[in-house]
Amino acid sequence: MGQIFPPSANTLFRAAVVLTPLALLGAAYLAYLWTWSDFVTGANRIPAQPVPFSHKHHVSGLGIDCRYCHAAVEKSAFADLPSTHTCMTCHSQIWNQAAILEPVRESFRADKPIPWVRVNDLPGYVYFNHAIHVNKGVGCAVCHGPVDRMPMTWKSRSLYMKWCLDCHRDPAPFLRPREEVFNMEWKPGADGLAQGRELMQRYHIHAERMTDCTLCHR
């Protein structure tokens, strides 16, 4: 009776012992990359809007402050989207015949808000609050990216729980003086981390309770 397994089977078997776990690890890693890919998280995707509003033109170009349109961001949980009236303070005079702005004029005439499509949208069971972040020195750009350079608004971060917690565990590296929150050009200096630690104290930030489940799930 001949051999069932040729001598080369040994080599094949050894190779399989080594390669199978590697292949499994590789598959797990790909699955991980997939979960965090922009395709799944929705980051960097640009939703179509009823009017192609450009932060690049209005913020960088015309120098309008964020608070002119997102008036509640320092005082309430919700940052607020601008009312049609806010647009019309300028657009009843500027570009008041432009076809691109017809939905704005239509909304004004009908007294119905423009149905902006939400870019950042947490599930309903997560509690978020703008005022606290803004008042404790977390800049808009940290969570929303370079909004002032966006011709159309996109979501810059995954908004996954892990993303929130990565900062909540140790916010120091992400903090800036409160008066720089709206400054889209701000960069931490060479002593950034030391300044962050100092700001933690000055703003009474207590990292030890920032990972409590009930903070965000109430």
Verify binding: residue 129, ligand HEC, rule CB under 6 A.
yes
Rounded to whole angstroms, the Cα distance separating 16 from 6 reads 16
C-beta of 20 vs 129, nearer to ligand HEC:
129
**Burial (0-12, 13-18, 19+ Cβ within 10 Å), 73:** buried
Verify binding: residue 105, ligand HEC, rule CB under 6 A.
no
Least distance CB 38 / ligand HEC (angstroms): 15
Q: Whose structure tokens read 């500027």? A: 94
**Residue 145 CB-half CA count within 13 A:** 17
Binding range to ligand HEC, per CB under 6 A, among 2-10, 13-21, 28-36, 47-55: 47-55
Verify binding: residue 205, ligand HEC, rule CB under 6 A.
yes
For CA atoms 207, 212, 217, 218, the dihedral sign is negative
Verify binding: residue 50, ligand HEC, rule CB under 6 A.
no
Q: Which of residues 156-175 bind ligand HEC (CB under 6 A)?
A: 159-161, 164-165, 167-168, 171, 174
Least distance CB 100 / ligand HEC (angstroms): 5
Verify binding: residue 147, ligand HEC, rule CB under 6 A.
yes
Per-residue exposure over 2-24, b if at least 16 CB sit within 10 Å of its own CB, e if not: eeeeeeeeeeeeeeeeeeeeeee
Q: How many residues bind ligand HEC (CB under 6 A)?
A: 75
